[in-house]
Structure 1
Amino acid sequence: MNSKITLGVSTWLWQSPFTTQSIALFPKIKQMGFDLVEIPLENPSLIDISQVKQALKDNGLKASVCVVFGDDKDLTADDPSLYENCFEFAKTCFEHAKALEVDFVAGPLYAAVGKARLATDEQRKLEWERSVTNLRKLASIAQEYDLQIALEPLNRFESDLINTAADVMRLIGDINHNAVKVALDGFHMTIEEKNIRDAINTVGDKLIHVQVSENHRGIPGSGLTPWQDFAAGLKDVNYNGALVIESFTPEIKELAAAVNIWKKLADDQDSFAKEGLKFLKETFND
């Protein structure tokens, strides 16, 4: 395996939301062979960040942080109060991220997740401009915490704003702020991109985070994803960040409904993690 790439797993594979008690997952995650755990900040008030930091240290794990905006947080909304909700929520998330000594927060921060409509050209232009303006402000807030934001394209069923590598690069160009980078997720890419290697090259050195599962959200290696293209693309751009397995447990009904997982994707979630890690180690090698 490329020694520069760190392999990780999201706690969403087992739980939602992440709370202080979720640190009980850390010994298992380390024992499986992961070096990093991805912490989704859904409700930061449920987290004693000093305990989480200590648990990471005790288990020899690094962290990454991801954030999504729900319906009451939307940088493209008609109602400006929803922007303020984003900024206030983001500040709390940035404080947590800073405490965990990470360099960035990743996620589809440009709009509320699930905002996918057939909007008019005028509405699209308006929402694009709102997103650009508000992301510039969000990036400046992140910079105050010595952090970057990594924007993640989503598939068309979850966003009508940013679906591809080309989309996110156009957005970054318009924002024009050096704290804005890119996170790519292989699941969304298999739906939206024509060629995964080309997409990775499109974002180039802006790429600072990568999430993976299969095209059906299942175990990496069990579906249609062109993994050799994926590995070649990361090598093309000299990627040296993390590769994080991100999928979801069908046991948490609210989460499963939000991501449209209606059945089990593995015998159990531990098997999902172990088999996925084995495949990633075999695939992303020199």
Structure 2
Amino acid sequence: MTLNVKIGVSTWLWTSPFRAEEALGLFGKIAALGYDAVEIAVEDPTLIDIPTVKAALAANQLEAIICGAFGPSRDLTSDDKQLQRNGLDYIEACLDIANALGSRFFAGPMYSAVGKARMVAPEQRTIEWERAVSNLQTVCESAASRGLEIALEPLNRFESDLINNVDDLLRLIGDISHPAAKICLDMFHMNIEEPDPEAAIIKAGKQLIHVQVSENYRGTPGTGNASWDAYRRGLEAIGYQGVVSIESFTPANKELAAAVCIWRSLAESQDAFAREGHAFLRKWATGD
């Protein structure tokens, strides 16, 4: 049985931050490699000139996925209300971009700041959980007003102390209690946190609207020890028909590389990473 999915790749594989003037050249490369979709990582919304990016998408017949970057200044769980406000304002801008570029949702670990991993008292954990719920209810209303959804992504324990796996995220979505709250699963984080990735995908079920993949070491799909058969069985079981998108990062940007702890090149080149990853995913999707 062939998985009826589209194959995508993140702009982070080549560049950070993504700028609109890069769109035509980069999207042309992505389309030439055979991809169906591009996952646009929006670090700075002011760098995304909508007409320029929209024209580049159309010229290369690529679907757009919009994902976010949540550093310490964008934290919906912070004690500092200004940092919460920063996060909400940033998400609003990304929702506008998603809407303008025809994406159905905005994806990312928007419940808290990436890298916020601490041991805190249960009382503080409850406070931060409730802030995440309340702020994401606001986000869901904003998304729904544009006809969009949000795809919330669990992160591994080294990058978040709030949401690490599907069980955590299902609890959060239950507390948000809004139909716009959906799920994005990233294989890299799942390889750390999920004992049974097939079962985790099945638990996510129809709420899963986006999938990101890379190897266990963030490298080219098919070159590591990730349980690809288990992921495929899980996606087949729930009838997933969305995008499966490679997410890894360029070591050329030292700030980004440090943030994701990539201290060496993970492939011969970023183009080779994308080319070989695409070839593997096409075969994987058809069950070869």
Instruction: State the TM-score bracket (shorter-chain normalisation).
Output: over 0.9
Post-superposition, which runs of at least 4 consecutive aligned residues in structure 1 deviate over 4 A? Answer: none
2:91 and 2:78 mapped to 1: Cα distance? 17
For the Cα contact (< 8 Å) 1:63–1:100, is it kept in 2? yes
Specify the alignment match of 2:110 in structure 1: 109
* Superposition deviation, residue 99 in structure 1: 0.7
2:70 and 2:140 mapped to 1: Cα distance? 15
* Superposition deviation, residue 43 in structure 1: 0.4
SS of residue paired to 1:284: helix
Q: Identical aligned pairs, as a percentage?
A: 52
For the Cα contact (< 8 Å) 2:251–2:257, is it kept in 1? yes
Specify the alignment match of 1:206 in structure 2: 207
- 5 Å-filtered alignment, 1:1-286, equals 2=2, 4-23=4-23, 24-285=25-286
SS of residue paired to 1:272: helix
For the Cα contact (< 8 Å) 1:50–1:99, is it kept in 2? no
Query: TM-score of the superposition, structure 2-length normalised?
Result: 0.97
How many residue pairs match? The answer is 286
* Superposition deviation, residue 3 in structure 1: 5.8
* Superposition deviation, residue 6 in structure 1: 0.5
Unmatched 5+ stretches in structure 2:
none
1:205 and 1:53 mapped to 2: Cα distance? 29
For the Cα contact (< 8 Å) 2:4–2:285, is it kept in 1? no
For the Cα contact (< 8 Å) 2:6–2:244, is it kept in 1? yes
For the Cα contact (< 8 Å) 2:151–2:182, is it kept in 1? yes
1:147 and 1:54 mapped to 2: Cα distance? 21
SS of residue paired to 2:91: helix
For the Cα contact (< 8 Å) 2:95–2:143, is it kept in 1? yes
Unmatched 5+ stretches in structure 1:
none
Query: Relative to structure 1, is the Cα distance of residues 3 and 204 closer, same or farther in structure 2, using a 3 angstrom cutoff?
Result: closer
2:54 and 2:177 mapped to 1: Cα distance? 33
2:257 and 2:69 mapped to 1: Cα distance? 15
1:67 and 1:46 mapped to 2: Cα distance? 13
2:159 and 2:194 mapped to 1: Cα distance? 15
* Superposition deviation, residue 68 in structure 1: 2.4
* Superposition deviation, residue 2 in structure 1: 3.3
Q: Deviations over 1:60-84 (max 9, x none)?
A: 1111000122111111111122221
1:145 and 1:40 mapped to 2: Cα distance? 20
Query: TM-score of the superposition, structure 1-length normalised?
Result: 0.98
1:194 and 1:45 mapped to 2: Cα distance? 40
1:55 and 1:285 mapped to 2: Cα distance? 29
Q: RMSD of aligned C-alpha atoms?
A: 1.0
